[in-house]
Amino acid sequence: MPTARKYIPDLKEFMALCASNYLKLNKLIGSAGKSLSHESDAILLSVDKQPDIVITLEQLSRYTVTYRLRQYCDSKAPYASAINREFLVRVYHDAQMAEVLSGLNEGMLPPVYQYPNSEMKQPDEKLQLNRFLGEWLNFCLQFGQSHTANTTHLAFLQ
């Protein structure tokens, strides 16, 4: 029986993903984020034909900010448990990175899960949740009504 190789996280990939999520989250929050100065202050993001997203300030310090991103819908809906999601995201302004601390209504995430485990978690669960956050932020930026007027215009020089 072949022995399983130990999972070794790709730090470059993880840091690039966190840097990308930092830019997306800042663009999504935009200038409304500057008005978040006290814990429990929140921003409401409306996404067309989707449940609203509430971004709540959980912790504010000199170089970091922790946000709770919560999407929810009426609990009477048959798909409510699949739609309701919550992420705790720490933003490191000095490193320009955003990292998922906990996600999908779970507790704090370890960097790597031992495998096999009783919860059937993958060894790279944290990386996967950060990828999912990036895809979710892309969706919000594309279809949401964010509180920013920032747009990027590409100019092609000839």
* Residues pairing with 55 in the sheet: 43, 69
Tell me whether residue 126 is in a domain: yes
pLDDT tens, position by position, 54-111: 888 999 999 999 999 888 776 676 666 667 778 899 999 999 999 998 865 455 556 6
Predicted pLDDT at 148? 37
Question: Would you state the pLDDT for residue 77?
Answer: 65
Q: For residue 30, tell me if it sits in a domain.
A: yes
The gap from C-alpha 116 to its chain's centroid, in whole angstroms, comes to: 26
Q: What is the pLDDT of residue 147?
A: 43
Whether residue 1 lies inside any domain: the answer is: no
Q: How do strand 64-71 and strand 53-60 relate by DSSP bridges?
A: antiparallel
pTM, full prediction: 0.73
Look over the chain and give the mean of its residue pLDDT values, rounded to a whole number.
Answer: 76
Residue with tokens 């009504």: 145
153 falls within a domain? no
Instruction: Kindly state whether residue 75 falls inside one of the protein's structural domains.
Output: yes
Hey, what's the torsion of the CAs at 107, 111, 112, 118, to 10 degrees? -10
Task: Please tell me the predicted confidence (pLDDT) of residue 66.
Answer: 92
Counted domains in the chain: 1
Specify if 3 maps to a domain: no
What was the pLDDT predicted at 54?
A: 85
3-17, 26-40, 68-82, 127-141: least confidently modelled range: 68-82
Cβ proximity of 113 and 85 under 8 Å: no
Mean pLDDT score, 38-47:
78
Range of the domain at 31: 11-145
Amino acid found at 144: G
If you search the block for the tokens 């200038």, which residue do you land on? 31
Within a domain: residue 21? yes
Is residue 6 a part of any domain in this protein? no
